[in-house]
Structure 1
Amino acid sequence: MKICSECAEKILKSAKICPECDSVIEQKILCPFCIEETFENSNNCPHCNSFLQKSISCPECAEKIFGNSENCPYCDSEVKRLEINNTSHNYNIEVGKRREGLFARVKNNNRIGRLDCFLASFMWGILSLCIAFLLTFIFFPRISTHDAGDTIGILTFLINIYPNIYLLRKRFHDLNYSGWMYLFTFIPIVNIILGLILLFGKGTDGENQYGPDPLR
């Protein structure tokens, strides 16, 4: 329950019009920055002057919160906005970690999981093969079929050196090993064992010394 500011009668918390005096009730919700009560339709908080976006409902406790809240001021659950359509004011939200694309996950995290490492390696392998194929026939148009195969293989290997090291270091970090472990992948037989570990080994649960869990 809450009190009508016009007639001082008790009304339901969700009421928008007072049943006693018919005055419009503007709901107050907590500012996510200073945690002071602010009118729902305010563009700026009168207490801290922070910019406030159109209100939405917290998916955990269903309380009204402002659209740019990172945490619900009522239940403290993490709230991330995925998309804001300023024309229709249609808000899509989710609790927890924002879902990013493969490229963003590999680029922004110091650790990558098994699936992301495999997908990134596979995609880059196809791309590097195409690049090597084009370079071979652009710069060596009269090369024989046998020599072309060797040239494409060498170019593909050279193009893949840096991306492979980049991915391997992050995968080792996910397993809580130093990135320098990738040097052991140049040793015969050892590279096979490490390859299986990198492909099937489960990363550290939660945060480790190299960064947060990429799956959370």
Structure 2
Amino acid sequence: MAKICKNCGSKIDDEAVFCAKCGKKIAVSGALPVPSDNNKSKSLGPDYATRDEALSWWNWRGRLNRQRFILRSLILTTIAIVVGIILCGGISFFITTTVMSGQDEDAVLGMIFLMLLCALPFLLPLSVLSFFISIKRGHDLNIPGWVVVIVSLLGASFFLSIYLAVAKGNEGPNQYGDDPLKYPGSI
């Protein structure tokens, strides 16, 4: 006998813990099933992350608690500030030496462009990692990753980051993985 989701009305598999359409947790008697390789995607959703995926910096799968989100954000911000200081110092140095030597403005613009081009290999991975940790933190609040990306791209990333840093995550497992508090001791 198939169940019906109380949230969206779609049909649900008897063994499912989350609705495949809306992601809402389905009331079941007893505890949630322990994830295993056989039933992970079947009963806990296709986005359910393993421990290694949840703790990895280099993917968007899984969940991050507030502490890990804040620590990772501070680490990435510190690296971005250091790169920014080096970049601004280098640009200032080249502008000063170019102007003092009497060269034209095209040489100054060329040096600025070259410095910005040299900064891209540092700033691009920082941006990607920033999206990854925001998506994982959103997953802890049961917010899909695409919502986090769109809100960030619309220019509200500061307000989104504040919300992600202060909002309490879901207790227990959700469709994105186990409770991140289950994995102590790692950033």
User: How high is the TM-score relative to the length of structure 1?
Assistant: 0.41
User: Larger C-alpha radius of gyration, 1 or 2?
Assistant: 1
Q: Which structure has more RCO (C-alpha within 8 Å, separation ≥ 6)? A: 2
Could you say which structure has the higher helix fraction?
2
